[in-house]
Structure 1
Amino acid sequence: MEFTHLQGLIAAPFTPMHADGSIHLELIPDYYALLKANGVTGAFICGSTGEGVSLTLQEKKAVAEAWAACSKNDPAFSVMPLLGGTCIADAKELAKHAQEIGLDAVSFTAPSYFKPANVQMLAACCKEIAAVVPDMPFYYYHIPVLTGVGFPMYDLLQAIDGLIPNFAGVKYTHEDFMDFLSCLHFKNGKYDMVWGRDENMLPALAIGTKASIGSTYNYAAPLYHQLMEAFEAGDLLKAQALQQQSIDMIRLLGKYGGIATGKAYMKLIGLDCGGFRLPVKNMDAVAFEQFKQEVANLSFDSYCSKKPAVAR
């Protein structure tokens, strides 16, 4: 079974929240319009950035339905949900739901409490879930820094090849370029290898990635379009400078508390997605004012994503 490989920038959207922590589904059409206006080609929903592990099964379905409603008439925009990684039964239910509402692909990451003992057990988990949606592309999400499951993906491709007909590829959020390159070359590029580290996009482009999924594409897509254009034009000095801008921007995520800082960036571009749920820490008002000044010092306005003009 062959699937079209993904291309370009795919955002990992935040799940919008109200002040009381409930999901803010009404904001998703505006979110979709923002991504489209900035040349983003898809959305990887309910992942790490989207707090999938902090959402209930019904909330995940509601978020998926909201994105499906926005993109149903847009074949140029792909939506892929992360199914979760701890309860296989829930992942199967979410996969079938994704197919029913017309999403484009599904993704699964390794169980992180009872971890698979070896790559064959991880492949068995993938097989059980992928089998309930045999006609949908199925991606494995490799993020060992969060799951604690760090098998080489080259070994996983060897284990699943011929075992899972609808296995499409890997969302690769790790820094092992040797493994990533070997996966790109496996069976003459049979599987779609999608890069997942925004701060390392340039070296990933250099070894052949054609698509990237990341959180900073939500609010700084123009920066990465410029980076990709500079690389394609052979202007490595410009590409390096743009990657450094990305790194400087991403450093503020760590300085101000981690993943929730991304929602502060979203607030600055005019799409307030609320805060993160516990146990993630949100910055207070004083820190936000300091953050705004540091962001201004990075000339963020010159490369941030812009909301589309409202039709009159």
Structure 2
Amino acid sequence: MNSKFLGTGVALVTPFKSDLSIDHDALTNIVNYNIDNGTDYLVICGTTGESVTLTKQEKKEVIETISKANNERLPLVLGIGGNNTVQVVEEIKSTNLNNIDAILSVSPYYSKPTQEGLYQHFKAISEVSPVDIILYNVPGRTSKNMDVETTLRLANDFENVIAVKEAGNNMAQYLELLKNKPEDFLVISGDDDLAIGVTLAGGSGVISVIGQAFPEAFSNMIRLGLKGEAKEAYKIHFKLMDAIGYIFEENNPSGIKAVFEALNLCQDTVRLPLVVASNNLKEKIRDFVNKF
């Protein structure tokens, strides 16, 4: 089993200054904050990193900043996905993946392919990727669920397809994956609210949004889950529960950036079409952070 991706991965934000340029100092601080407090691996340029609003050059700079700050301490996962298969294949071929341990590739959005289309898309990616692949199923964003059969078909057919980040918020689908998966295939929760339940059921942990703001508590919770210590793990889950709700109340990553602002780790600036969290939500988040 690929133990690199056991535990808590975090989908890092991309902090912006007031002029919307990338705040590389804040990004460095967030990386160190996570490494120092127990996070197991880092995910770069995912949805939470606002990757769809970053230019090619900016993505390159974000990868460089995180790689430099990380200094080979934790495994790195890079988001490379999209709904134009040829373009995704080209991006994989043209990206320097020397410091990258795996790519996280989202199921094609907007186009609504059939299950066969999803299979062929990931087959094309598998055939060119020099690193391991974590599939990413997030039907709330893609408007198409990748069925368990398709995920397992990819897991069985391609050696470099090592995991799925499942984020359908559907416990039945998680359980079906866990029941039928190949032994060394990882089922990673992409739902912060279900992460501990999935881990206790045999999952490999989580790629989390809230985890990057409370890395010590969150990674401890997942470690307890991996050891089957449900009662202790749920104690931490209940402490974090309100915050998990808050950060997804309006949109991601505006919510998590409001948490980081309350923690003085970065500004809450986001790029359009996203807007910052409402004052009402910010107040709830500040209260939570102050009491935590």
Q: Normalising by structure 1, what TM-score?
A: 0.83
The reply to whether residue 208 of structure 1 matches residue 202 of structure 2 is yes
Is the CA contact 2:10–2:43 (under 8 Å) kept in the aligned structure 1? yes
Distance (whole Å) between structure 2 residues aligned to residue 233 and residue 301 of structure 1: 31
Equivalent residue in structure 1 for 2:104, among 104, 107, 115: 107
Is the CA contact 1:25–1:66 (under 8 Å) kept in the aligned structure 2? yes
Structure 1, gaps ≥5 residues long? 304-312
Q: How far did 1:196 drift?
A: 1.1
Q: How far did 1:36 drift?
A: 0.6
Q: Counterpart of 1:157 in structure 2: which amino acid?
A: L
SS in 2 for 1:96: helix
Is the CA contact 2:190–2:206 (under 8 Å) kept in the aligned structure 1? yes
RMSD of Structure 2 on Structure 1 (CA): 2.5
Question: In the superposition, relative to structure 1, how do residues 10 and 263 fare at CA in structure 2: closer, same or farther (>3 Å)?
Answer: same
Question: In the superposition, relative to structure 1, how do residues 243 and 4 fare at CA in structure 2: closer, same or farther (>3 Å)?
Answer: closer
Distance (whole Å) between structure 1 residues aligned to residue 236 and residue 25 of structure 2: 34
Is the CA contact 2:50–2:253 (under 8 Å) kept in the aligned structure 1? no
Q: Output aligned runs, 1:122-133, within 5 Å.
A: 122-133=118-129
Distance (whole Å) between structure 2 residues aligned to residue 53 and residue 72 of structure 1: 26
Show the counterpart of 1:52. 51
SS in 2 for 1:213: strand
The reply to whether residue 87 of structure 1 matches residue 77 of structure 2 is no
SS in 1 for 2:194: helix
Structure 2, gaps ≥5 residues long? none
Q: Output aligned runs, 1:4-15, within 5 Å.
A: 4=3, 6-15=5-14
Moved more, 141-150 or 103-112: 103-112
Q: Which has the larger radius of gyration?
A: 1
Equivalent residue in structure 1 for 2:145, among 147, 150, 155: 150
Is the CA contact 1:139–1:167 (under 8 Å) kept in the aligned structure 2? yes
Is the CA contact 1:15–1:51 (under 8 Å) kept in the aligned structure 2? yes
Distance (whole Å) between structure 2 residues aligned to residue 216 and residue 88 of structure 1: 30
Q: Normalising by structure 2, what TM-score?
A: 0.88
Show the counterpart of 1:138. 133
Moved more, 216-225 or 8-17: 216-225
Question: In the superposition, relative to structure 1, how do residues 72 and 230 fare at CA in structure 2: closer, same or farther (>3 Å)?
Answer: closer
Is the CA contact 1:46–1:82 (under 8 Å) kept in the aligned structure 2? yes
Distance (whole Å) between structure 2 residues aligned to residue 119 and residue 261 of structure 1: 33
Q: How far did 1:267 drift?
A: 1.2
Show the counterpart of 2:284. 294
Q: Output aligned runs, 1:21-100, within 5 Å.
A: 21-74=20-73, 77-100=74-97
Tell me how many residue pairs correspond in the alignment. 291
SS in 1 for 2:151: helix
Q: For each residue in 1:233-267, what CA deviation from the matched residue of structure 2 results, as whole angstroms up to 9, or x when unmatched?
A: 7452x433432222211222355655302101011
SS in 2 for 1:80: strand
